[in-house]
Chain A
C-alpha cells in the first residue's frame, strides 16, 4: 500500500448518552496521500464531522476516540501527548469549519487573527506574519488585502470570512487540510467559488485535503478518492472514478440517483430517493446498518458484514456481488 500522509484505521468515536452509548463513528478507515483530495460524503449525522474532529484530536469533551491506527506522516497521533498535538495543529495540519460567521473571534481584527497561528508556531516575527497574511489573503481572492487586516470580522460577509478562515489555515503552510463542510453556511454562488478556491489551493500548494461535504457534484470534480459514510461507517471507499463509475454499495448507488445529471436525467422525472431514515446509533449493532432501507436486503444482511476490496483499492461493506 502507498505511503499515506494520514492513515486512519478502524477509528471509532463513542459518545455516552443517557440511553447508553452513541456509536457515532464505527471502524472508519481512511487514508490520504500527499497532494490527494479525499472527499467524505454522507447525510447529516453520519459521523463525517466527528471523523475529522477525531483526527485533529478536537472531539467535544465526553466523546471517546479509539482506533487501531491514527498516523500522520508516520507519527502515531493516538499516543501523541497534548503538547505534541498542539504543535501539529494549525502548523502541519489545519482545519476549516462550517460556520464562517462564528469561526472568527469578534474581538480581534482579521490581521491579528491571521497572525496568531504564525506567531504561535514561531514561524517568524510580526512583520513577517503581516506579509504572509497579505500574501495569503490575496491568494484566497480577497481584494485590498492590506486594508482588510485592520477590519473586524463583523465588517466582512460570510464568503469573505470563509476566505479569511482558509487563509488562516494556510498561514503555517500545512501539509494536511481538513475542511468540514466549508460551504454549507454560505449561499450557493459563493459555495462554488469557495470550493473552486480550495481545489486550486490544494493543487498549487500540494496539500492533502480532506473535504467533508454532501455536494456530490463537487466531489466528482475535485476528489482523488471518495469515502461514503453511512450511520457512522465508511460503507464504500475508493478512487473517485471507481466509486462514481461502479458504485458497489446500494447506499452509494442510491445517493448517486438522488442528483440530477444535466443532459442525462430526463426533465420532469422525479429524482431518486432513499426510503426510510437513518437507524439510531445508540447501542451497538453488527449487521449492515443500511439493510432496513436497502432494496436488495436479504436474510444474510443481518449477519456482520465483512469489508471487501478489489485490486484497485476500492473497498465496500456489502455482501452483494458486484453485478447486483
Chain B
C-alpha cells in the first residue's frame, strides 16, 4: 500500500505522467469520433478535455502540476499555426480566386460577431466589464485576452468564453451548414475559422483540407480585424 502510494507520488510529479494522460485522452476521444463517423457531438477536443478534466478531478491534481507535462502539447499550437501556411500555399490558386468573397465574409462576420455579443449582453443586462470580455470571443485565445485587458475586461473570463465559443462553433458548424444547405467547403471552413478560431479550424481540417485552409486564413484575418474593431464597438456601449 505505502509502496504503491510512493510510486504514485513520484509519477504524479513527473511531466511524463500528465503528458501521457493527455495523449491517451486524445487517442480515446479520437477513436470515439471515428467510431461515431465523426459526429459533431463526439468532437475529439471536447471529449479529450472532459476525460482529462475528470482524471485531474478524481486524482485531485493541481492544474499547475498537470501543465508541467501538458505544456509540451500546448507548445505545439504555435508551430501548428505556422504550418497553416502549407495548405494555404497548396491551394493558393483556389484562395486567390476567392479573394472578394473572403474579404466580404471577413468584414460581415467580424462585425456580426462583435455586435451580436454586445447587443445580447446589453439585452440580458450583463455588467459592462463582462460584456467587454465577451466582445473578442471569436478570436484566438492570446489575442482575445489582450483585447479584453486593454478594454478593461477580465482576461481569464475572456479565455473561458473563447474556449466555450470554440467548442460551440466546432460542434454546431456542420449541422448549421447542412441546415442552411451550404455545400461550398470554402464558405464552411471560412465561417468555422472566423467564428470559432482554432477549434473551428481543427474541426474544418477533419472534414476537408480546403475547408481547413480557408479556416486558417479566417482565423488570422479575424484576429487582426477584431483587434481593430473591438475598441470602436465597445465605445458604443454606455
A and B held together in a complex:
no
Spell out B's residues near A (CB within 8 Å). none
Spell out A's residues near B (CB within 8 Å). none
